[in-house]
């Protein structure tokens, strides 16, 4: 069998493309555009959209805020137990979302490890609260960001950071003016991946936070509920979801491209002759 390498690669690419594109195209072909816009007028849809956007935004911002310094530390310092910490951070990746939901219940539920103490203080982060959704989304999406962020920081040349220090920069300046800008490309990609995962979160949310319109019912939960009642409505909300997701991804890409083309790692090196 003498199949040429190029032919095999092209075929594989075509199959992959078709496989990924087909279900998405199928949705849009079944939803008349008019329906899509009409769907936006539906209370359930609008509430779900609002809940999704709010909870994803808060969860993602928290993950970025806390995850970035943690990733920096993990990337640059060798300390005892580092491997264990890395594994712990990646743990939610291997948990089925339902298991993640149960774990969150066990920790933050009314009788949970931390939850019961919060409960006596009158703080409720469990069933029926929007905070529960934020917790579930953050828990599930964090490893996607931290893993990518660690790789991005590890990719920054040690000597550049050392140079900054010999030039009088303290740890903060080294981080803000050298490490962060140079890792920005990788951080952006990891952030997009995590955000996408968070937006699509379902299993952990429904178990830990439940589903209540306007409070905890996110877009994925709304789609699932509507699926029982009306397939067309479910389709319309799904199409909407795809547009929102694609919009965010594209926006991130454009932003990254505009801001950081100057430090693209893929530029060829200049010659060494004068």
Partner 1 sequence: MASLHFDLAVPTRSFDVELALDVGAETVALVGPSGAGKTTVLRAVAGLARPARGSIVCGDDVWFGDGTDLRPEQRSVGFVFQEYALFPHLTVERNVTFAGGEADGLLERLRIAHLAHAKPRDLSGGERQRVALARALARRPRVLLLDEPMGALDPHTRASVRGELHDLLRELRLPTLLVTHDFEDAAAVADRIGVLSEGKLRQLGTAPDLLGAPADEVVASFAGANVLPGVAARAPDGLTVVRLDAGATVYSTDEALGSVDVVLYPWDVSLGLVTADDSALNHLTDEIVSVARVGNRVRVRLRTLTGEITAASAERLELEPDRRVVASFKATATRLLPRA
Partner 2 sequence: MKCAVVLALAVALVFPAATSAGSRITVFAAASLTDVLPRIDKSPRYSFAGTDQLALQLQQGAPANVYAAASPKFPELLYRNGLLRKPVVFATNRLVVIVPRSNPGHVSTVYDLRRGGLRVVIGDTTVPIGSYTRQILDALGITADVMKNVVSEETDVKGIVAKVALGEADAGFVYGTDAKSVASKVRVVSLPAWAQPPIRYELAVVKASSHQSSARAFVKRVLSKPGRLALQRAGFGVPKR
Q: Using CB under 8 A as the criterion, which residues of the chain lie in contact with partner 1 when the complex forms?
A: 157, 159-160, 162-170, 177-178, 181-182, 262-263, 267, 269-274
The burial class, CB within 10 Å (0-12 / 13-18 / 19+), for 1 is exposed
Residue 120 touches which of partner 1, partner 2, none (CB < 5 to 8 A by kind)? none
Q: Does 192 bind partner 2 (CB under 8 A)?
A: no
Q: Does 227 bind partner 2 (CB under 8 A)?
A: yes
49 vs 156 by CB, closer to partner 1: 156
Instruction: Report, in Å, the least distance between residue 177 CB and partner 2.
Output: 47
Closest C-alpha to 145, from 190, 176, 95: 190
Question: Which member of 68, 130, 142, 216 binds partner 2 (CB under 8 A)?
Answer: 216
Site map 85..114 versus partner 2, x via CB under 8 A: --------------------x---xxx---
> Contact 153/72 with Cβ under 8 angstroms?
yes
Residue 83 CB contacts under 8 Å (≥ 6 apart), including other chains: none
Instruction: Report, in Å, the least distance between residue 102 CB and partner 2.
Output: 8
5 vs 79 by CB, closer to partner 1: 79
Question: Which member of 58, 70, 180, 212 binds partner 2 (CB under 8 A)?
Answer: 212
> Contact 201/141 with Cβ under 8 angstroms?
yes
Tokens for 156, please give them: 């920054």
Instruction: Report, in Å, the least distance between residue 151 CB and partner 1.
Output: 18
Sign of the torsion formed by the C-alpha atoms of 265, 90, 67 and 196 = positive
Residue 142 CB contacts under 8 Å (≥ 6 apart), including other chains: 63, 67, 89, 92, 194
In degrees and rounded to multiples of 5, residue 165 shows phi and psi of: -70, -40
Site residues for partner 2 per CB under 8 A = 1, 105, 109-111, 126-128, 206-207, 209-213, 216-217, 224-229, 231
């Amino acid at each position: 069998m003498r199949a040429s390498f190029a032919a095999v690669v092209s075929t594989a690419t075509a199959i992959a493309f078709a496989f990924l594109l087909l279900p998405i195209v199928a949705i849009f072909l079944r939803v008349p555009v008019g329906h899509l816009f009409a769907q936006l007028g539906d209370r359930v849809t609008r509430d779900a959209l609002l809940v999704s956007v709010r909870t994803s935004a808060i969860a993602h911002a928290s993950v970025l805020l806390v995850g970035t310094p943690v990733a920096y530390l993990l990337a640059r310092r060798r300390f005892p137990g580092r491997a264990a910490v890395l594994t712990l951070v990646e743990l939610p990746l291997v948990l089925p979302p339902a298991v993640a939901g149960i774990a969150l219940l066990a920790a933050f539920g009314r009788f949970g490890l931390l939850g019961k103490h919060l409960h006596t203080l009158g703080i409720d982060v469990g069933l029926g609260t929007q905070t529960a959704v934020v917790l579930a989304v953050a828990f599930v999406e964090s490893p996607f960001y931290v893993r990518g962020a660690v790789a991005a920081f590890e990719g920054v040349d040690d000597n550049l950071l050392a140079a900054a220090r010999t030039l009088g920069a303290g740890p903060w300046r080294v981080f803000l003016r050298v490490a962060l800008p140079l890792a920005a490309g990788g951080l952006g990609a990891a952030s997009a991946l995590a955000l996408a995962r968070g937006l699509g979160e379902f299993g952990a949310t429904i178990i830990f936070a439940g589903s209540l319109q306007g409070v905890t019912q996110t877009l994925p939960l709304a789609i699932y509920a509507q699926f029982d009642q009306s397939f067309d409505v479910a389709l319309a909300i799904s199409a909407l979801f795809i547009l929102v997701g694609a919009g965010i991804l594209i926006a991130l890409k454009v932003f990254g491209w505009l801001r950081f083309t100057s430090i693209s790692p893929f530029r060829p090196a200049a010659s060494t002759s004068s």
